[in-house]
Amino acid sequence: MTVTLRGASLDEEQVVAVARHGEKVALSAAARARMEQSRARVQRASQSREPVYGVSTGFGALAGTRIAPLRQPELQLALIRSHAAGVGPPVDREVVRATMLLRARTLSMGLSGVRPAVAEILVSTLNAQITPVVPRYGSVGCSGDLAPLAHIALALVGEGEVVNQDGVRQPAAQALRAAKVKPLKLETKEGLSLINGTDGMLGMLTLACADAELCFRVADITAAMSAEALLGTDRPFQPHLHQIRPHPGQVASAANLARLLRGSGIVASHRHSAHAVQDSYSVRCSPQVAGAARDTLDFARRTATVELASAIDNPVVLENGDVESTGNFHGEPLAFAADFLAIAAA
């Protein structure tokens, strides 16, 4: 399938398809049109006498420093170079691909004020199976995934290193040239919009949710097999016993265990024979433990789903033409969800 960016949300399945299975990505005509309209508003703001953060000013402590229109593109490239300062071994390929897809998705919403060309080069690079080398350490989260996204952006402008479709690490300029992808020349606000997001965290969380789903299913299967191996009973998994403590995950896990053990010849063979008063704690409490993990996964997925439909940037360019500063780049919602899921998975 081709995952088309329409300026709306993506789902977990689409992220996994692109990140892990190399599915193609496309940018819709409607998304391009919205981006062009948004870009026109940024162009006007860049010429305005009223300062607009990241458009006609510096960043952070230099927000009060006015940047002349002719030097604004230079500032954007300097921002990318200065923030591409991660260290350590490279991030996994699938995480980088998820990050690239999710940054393109936010840009396609038309609330960032960048040209369609910025989203298009992310799409082209993904489709060419070119993966920027992103060091594992350096993101701060509270200001978005600045360093990881800067390393991705650095590759898009033809600097830094990438891994090509053959798995060979090489200079970005060389890989882009071989794939016939023209390096991006940044214009006003575009460097900022490429790095001001939570896409690295969100990519990791989305992939982790997919993995946790499989892990928690296996937990039920393992528990059912353990019940058989220990000559246990399926009675603790009866629905009415869980309706009196109806945590959704617990109810679902108990129902799954009952289904897995239904028709088991092993369980049936000793159902009416002399037996322990009750099964061991580890078997009997399986739905309560695995169920709590399922509920944690549901929370993490709800958080990821909201983020997968959100505009993560600062400032944002609204449909009425206003350019407003926000704090939507902050990663706290994702950090809490990811840490909670890590506890459950452990």
Would you name the residues annotated as active-site residues?
A: 53
Question: Do 287 and 253 touch, CB atoms closer than 8 A?
Answer: yes
Residue type at position 94: E
SS3 per-residue string spanning 261-326: HCCCHHHHHCCCCCCCCCCCHHHHCHHHHHHHHHHHHHHHHHHHHHHCCCCCCCCEECCCCCEECC
CA 8/CA 28 separation, integer angstroms: 11
Strands 3-5 and 25-27: parallel
Q: At what angle do helices 286-307 and 332-345 cross, to 10 degrees?
A: 160
CA atoms of 157 and 183, how far apart (whole Å): 5
